[in-house]
């Protein structure tokens, strides 16, 4: 279905971009270095720099040429370098789009930016939950990881007497990384994790990823994810294939080895880490244009995108294009491993980012094969990368190997005919009202993805021109319900550019990851925090069914309980329940046994066992005790009529110590 905008909408609502700059001297590369040149020192003085709905985006910082000019007969690209003053991280305010989504470019203010001189080239992003010390406001911090997904540049000593380092195409004994490739001036290695303080905007080195004391040799980090329940960060190391976990003080707490444990769980032979396979830019066999010489971990070990969901860490393994998951134990350690699905792909492109909504749907974004054009124009193979959505089979189909649907739903990314312009960054955003103002009451309504040339389509040029420039390298925001063929082409979307440069149609892969600060629990007062599931005493001796024959534990096992405030001022609760009687339960009946307290809905089904059952708890006060009766059953059994098996229990629960409401 094609969605076309009203003919007069753009002329009434389009907000023009801050600047459009033509290339100087006919050189594409020069335009890449021009953009919004504020830096992190320009953080807001009045209050925190990070707030709900803020969108963080990473991207290539651009390049620069010598200020004293280029001698005649010299290739300008030979004298070009990464722009240290360019921006590699921006945080946008996205609380007002100026109108409904009609395919237009929206000029989002970016009050906070970080220069490449501080953190180098980066990709992965993660917000923490903002919980600070007693009496401090709940404001998140942002974590950013070093990356080669925006190219890898090396240099050698000055040989022509111009006082500048020489760009190198091949390794040599005295080679070094180009300035602003990594944040080496500030102590960073290719495995650096940077922390942006959400209150002050201060940028600091959080940790350098290393294995047994050996730093990442150059391939950098795949991505990063935060787990609020165990208060730790997970990162994928492209050098070794390990997944590291860090506490919030930057202390490395240990690793998970997909090459050994993940492959074994899939029934494949283990592939151990080869510590001799390292990037060596001092060796002539290193080729800057050939990522195969960059020392990445073997494909059987390589891990890219990460995300935490349902007390498990999901990750994408290049090893056959698998989504795997590993449990996160109460103490934060790694638990059981399981295969989730194989991503159906004709290209084999890596999934560099993963997201989940509040109903358990899983979203994946691919990024084209890593490139490193000498003129800095292309860092990823273009126009074949997809955004996918998977959901759990309900009930699970025993004829299929995975619990997830085999064929994913897809989204139209960009206006080019195949609509496959994704760049590997994905997250979910709050809803937007018809006037374009943000609606914090709906937590995961819009899907945000990074992409290339998102508004370019020659056949639609006249219509698109009304909504702004065509060459938008940045993000596309679309309601998550608009899967293809809906919103194809994507007129029902907002678009925003990363760097404010719109005369660069040839560039590819210059935008990276996207992450949105999106707390879904309602607002808190100063110093208040929500209890996490493991902090709430989970009853062990509650009335209910006996241990089922051949089963394990109780018929109903309470895995976790998560309270939050809904947008209507009502207390909500997510129940993570496991049924152990072999009923393949996918539905819940719920009833309050405490007078004056009620719950809704009375009956519900969920997409699969990893999604929570969500209830509104009505008429309850902070810290009040209540008894909740639950019955887990299989919907297909109930729909068949007559008697059907049901696991029952009465859970003695307690409300959290906060009230919901205006």
The enclosing H or E element of 267 equals none
Please check the confidence at residue 414 and state whether its pLDDT lies above 80: yes
User: What's residue 545's pLDDT?
Assistant: 66
Strand order across the 598-600 sheet: 556-565, 571-579, 613-618, 598-600
User: What's residue 612's pLDDT?
Assistant: 80
Q: CA–CA separation, 556 vs 653, rounded Å?
A: 15
Break the chain into its structural domains and give their ranges: 9-67+77-516, 533-654
Residue 75: pLDDT band (50, 70, 90) is very high
Q: CA–CA separation, 153 vs 219, rounded Å?
A: 12
Q: How does pLDDT run across 638-659, given as a tens digit for each residue?
A: 999 888 889 998 888 888 877 7
CATH 2.130.10 at 533-654, yes or no: no
Common-topology check for domains 9-67+77-516 and 533-654:
no
Percentage, residues of the chain above pLDDT 70: 86
User: What's residue 16's pLDDT?
Assistant: 37
User: What's residue 540's pLDDT?
Assistant: 55
CB burial of 98-117 (b: ≥16 within 10 Å; e: otherwise) equals bbbbbbbbbbbebebbbbbb
User: What's residue 171's pLDDT?
Assistant: 98
Pick from 345-354, 551-560, 562-571 the range whose average pLDDT is largest. 345-354
Please check the confidence at residue 331 and state whether its pLDDT lies above 70: yes
583 vs 562, residue with greater confidence: 583
Residue 560: pLDDT band (50, 70, 90) is confident
Which has the minimum average pLDDT: 289-293, 397-401, 512-516, 559-563?
A: 559-563
Please check the confidence at residue 9 and state whether its pLDDT lies above 60: no
Residue 370: pLDDT band (50, 70, 90) is very high
> What average pLDDT does this structure show over 223-245?
96
Q: What is the pTM of this model?
A: 0.80
User: What's residue 408's pLDDT?
Assistant: 95
Secondary structure tally for the chain: helices H, strands E = 6, 41
Mean pLDDT (the chain) is 87
Please check the confidence at residue 39 and state whether its pLDDT lies above 90: no
User: What's residue 528's pLDDT?
Assistant: 33
Please check the confidence at residue 534 and state whether its pLDDT lies above 60: no
Cβ(656)–Cβ(642) below 8 Å: no
In the CATH hierarchy, which fold is given to the domain comprising 9-67+77-516?
Neuraminidase (2.120.10)
Query: DSSP letters along 216-253, please?
Result: P-SSBEEEEEEETTTTEEEEEETTT-EEEEEETTS-EE
46 vs 656, residue with greater confidence: 656
Please check the confidence at residue 45 and state whether its pLDDT lies above 80: no
CB atoms within 10 A of CB 303: 30
User: What's residue 469's pLDDT?
Assistant: 97
Percentage, residues of the chain above pLDDT 90: 69
Close Cβ partners of 9 (under 8 Å, ≥ 6 residues apart):
99, 100, 102, 104
> What average pLDDT does this structure show over 554-582?
78
User: What's residue 310's pLDDT?
Assistant: 77
């Amino acid at each position: 279905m094609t969605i076309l905008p009203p003919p007069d909408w753009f002329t009434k609502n389009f907000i023009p971009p801050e600047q459009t700059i033509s290339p100087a001297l006919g050189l594409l590369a020069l335009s890449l270095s021009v953009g919004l040149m504020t830096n992190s020192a320009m953080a807001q003085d009045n209050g925190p720099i990070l707030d709900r709905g803020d969108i963080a985006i990473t991207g290539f910082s651009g390049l620069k040429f010598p200020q004293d000019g280029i001698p005649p007969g010299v290739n300008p690209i030979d004298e070009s370098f990464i722009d240290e003053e360019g921006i590699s991280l921006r945080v946008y305010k996205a609380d007002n789009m100026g109108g409904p989504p009609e395919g237009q470019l929206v000029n989002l203010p970016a009050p906070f930016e970080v220069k490449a001189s501080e953190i180098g080239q980066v990709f992965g992003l993660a917000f923490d939950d903002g919980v600070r010390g007693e009496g401090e406001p709940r404001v998140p911090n942002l974590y950013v990881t070093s990356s080669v997904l925006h190219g890898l540049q090396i240099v050698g000593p000055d040989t022509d007497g111009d006082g500048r380092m020489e760009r190198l195409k091949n390794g040599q004994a005295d080679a070094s990384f180009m300035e602003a490739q990594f944040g080496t001036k500030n102590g960073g290695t290719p495995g650096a994790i940077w922390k942006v303080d959400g209150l002050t905007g201060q940028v600091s080195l959080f940790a350098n990823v290393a294995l047994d004391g050996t730093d990442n040799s150059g391939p950098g980090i795949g991505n990063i994810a935060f787990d609020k329940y165990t208060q730790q960060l997970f990162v994928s190391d492209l050098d070794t294939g390990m997944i590291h976990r860090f506490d919030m003080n930057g202390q490395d707490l240990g690793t998970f080895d997909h090459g050994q444990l993940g492959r074994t769980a899939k029934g494949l032979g283990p592939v151990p880490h080869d510590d001799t396979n390292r990037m060596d830019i001092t060796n002539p066999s290193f080729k800057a244009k050939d990522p195969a010489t960059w020392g990445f971990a073997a494909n059987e070990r390589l891990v890219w995108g990460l995300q935490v969901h349902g007390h498990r860490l999901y990750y994408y393994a290049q090893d056959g294009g698998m989504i795997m998951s590993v449990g996160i134990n109460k103490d934060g350690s790694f638990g059981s491993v399981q295969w989730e699905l194989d991503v159906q792909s004709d290209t084999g492109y890596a999934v560099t980012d993963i997201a989940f909504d509040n109903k358990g749907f899983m979203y994946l974004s691919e990024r084209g094969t890593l490139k490193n054009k000498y003129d800095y124009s292309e860092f990823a193979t273009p126009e074949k990368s997809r955004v996918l959505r998977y959901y759990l089979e309900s009930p699970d189909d025993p004829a299929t190997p995975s619990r997830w649907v085999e064929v994913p739903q897809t989204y139209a990314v960009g206006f080019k005919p195949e609509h496959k312009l994704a760049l590997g960054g994905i997250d979910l955003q709050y809803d937007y009202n018809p006037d374009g103002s943000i609606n914090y009451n709906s937590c995961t309504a819009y899907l945000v993805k990074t992409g290339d040339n998102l508004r370019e389509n020659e056949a639609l040029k006249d219509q698109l021109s009304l909504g702004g420039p065509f060459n938008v390298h940045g993000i596309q925001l679309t309601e998550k319900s608009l899967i293809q063929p809906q919103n194809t082409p994507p007129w029902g979307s907002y678009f925003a550019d990363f760097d404010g440069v719109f005369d660069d149609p040839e560039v590819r892969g210059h935008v990276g990851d996207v992450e949105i600060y999106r707390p879904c629990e309602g607002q808190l007062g100063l110093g208040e925090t929500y209890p996490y599931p493991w902090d709430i005493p989970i009853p062990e001796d509650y009335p209910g069914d006996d241990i089922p024959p051949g089963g394990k534990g109780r018929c109903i096992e309470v895995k976790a309980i998560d309270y939050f405030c809904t947008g209507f001022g009502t207390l909500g609760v997510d129940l993570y329940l496991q049924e152990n009687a072999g009923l393949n339960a996918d539905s819940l009946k719920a009833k309050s046994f405490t007078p004056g307290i009620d719950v809704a809905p009375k009956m519900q089904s969920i997409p699969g066992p990893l999604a929570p059952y969500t209830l509104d708890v009505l008429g309850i006060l902070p810290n009040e005790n209540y008894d909740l009766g639950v019955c887990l059953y299989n919907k297909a059994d109930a729909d068949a009529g007559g008697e059907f098996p049901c696991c029952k229990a009465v859970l003695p629960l307690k409300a959290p110590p906060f009230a919901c409401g205006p």
